[in-house]
Amino acid sequence: NNEKRKEKSRDAARCRRSRETEIFQDLASLLPMRPEEVEHLDKASVMRLSIAFLKARKMLELFPDFQSEEQIAIKEDNDVSMDSMEEFRYNEAKLSLKSLGLDPETIALQTLDGFLIILSADGDVTYISENVNEYLGISQIDIMGQPIWDYSHQCDHDELREALNGRHHSPSELLNGVANSDCRPMENRDFFLRLKCTLTSRGRSVNIKSASYKVLHVTGHIACKDKEGQRQLVAIARPLPHPANIEVPLGSSTFLTQHTLGMKFSYVDDIMLSLLGYQPSDLLGKSLYDCHHGTDAEHLMSTFKHGK
């Protein structure tokens, strides 16, 4: 009898696990993601992404003017007024892009010099665009539904909370009935944020535990519904260029030259003609030592040795 009960218990557990696996597979197949990305997800990731996409869908209610392709298709079948010029131009532009083999969503992401990020008032990542991988080395799957606090620098948390929830009012303002959670739609946000980046300077990817921080310029606005208390930060995050890569504009009386290790001219600025009367062809391949004054030789050697 004991053996039979144990066998029944094992069968029931096996059946329950099998049913649970089927449910998670069905749930994963409903995610708006590529099949090759879904098949590697564990159960916890499937649950996290399912909740994240449900929150993203609810977030769209903050934008009443937004219409999905399905809603537009329904309107086209039932409403004769869809022949307006605006709708015609929209459909014509979309067909033109598709005829060229271009995806409108991909084009939109390429026009950004950063990535789209939407954060809830609690700091959860409601949505982040797929091209985040190009800037941070972290995939969209890994960060969606996660708290932004796990990826941002600890010293930026206070400023980020203020950006998400607004400025905390003084006691006198609170006594006058002004609440910290007052909903002010389209309120602009502009701040800097450090997020983890797994990309190295050579373009390689490292483990998230060894990640460094990249400075991002975050600009966007608050979208909210006063009655429901729903609040989202919709923003574009743009990485700041490294100081070494920033080109400093030169003055009108300054010229630029490049040299080989033997100090022969390899590049000559065109402005040299107006400043010194040299054409680039006059100096290219010629040594700098053939051009400087003899009394400057000591200063030139000191500059090479000491860098000043």
Q: How far apart are CA 198 and CA 42, in angstroms?
A: 22
Q: How many CA atoms lie within 13 A of 257 on its CB side?
A: 20
Q: Which of 28-37, 115-124, 182-191 has the highest mean pLDDT?
A: 115-124
What is this structure's pTM? 0.60
- Give 82's pLDDT tier (boundaries 50, 70, 90): very low
DSSP calls for 274-307? HHT---HHHHBT-BGGGTS-GGGHHHHHHHHHH-
133-169: string of b/e by CB count within 10 Å (b at 16+)?
bebbbbebbbbbbbebeebbeeebeeebeebbbbeee
User: What token pair was written down for 277?
Assistant: 């009367």
Q: Sign of dihedral through CA atoms 41, 44, 50, 53?
A: negative
Task: Dig out the tokens for 4 from the structure.
Answer: 């039979």
**pLDDT, tens digit, 9 for 90 and up, residues 183-197:** 565 678 889 999 999
Of 156, 154, 164, whose CA–CA distance to 126 is shortest? Answer: 164
* Whether the domain at 113-239 and the domain at 257-303 fall into the same CATH topology: yes
Q: What is the structure's pLDDT at 149?
A: 94
**Domain spans of the chain, in order of start:** 1-51, 113-239, 257-303
- CATH of 257-303, picked from 3.40.50.2300, 1.10.10.10, 3.30.450.20, 3.40.50.300, is 3.30.450.20
* Token output for 305: 């040795």
Per-residue pLDDT at 95 = 67
Dihedral angle computed from the Cα positions of residues 103, 104, 108 and 111, in that order, rounded to the nearest 10 degrees:
70
In Å, how far from its chain's centre is CA 189? 16
Which CATH number is 113-239's, of 2.60.450.10, 3.40.1030.10, 3.30.450.20, 3.40.50.1970? 3.30.450.20
What are 127-174's pLDDT values in tens digits?
898 889 888 989 888 888 899 999 999 999 999 998 888 654 555 655
> Per-residue pLDDT tens for 263-307?
899 998 888 888 888 888 899 999 988 888 888 888 888 877 765
d(CA 135, CA 177): 43
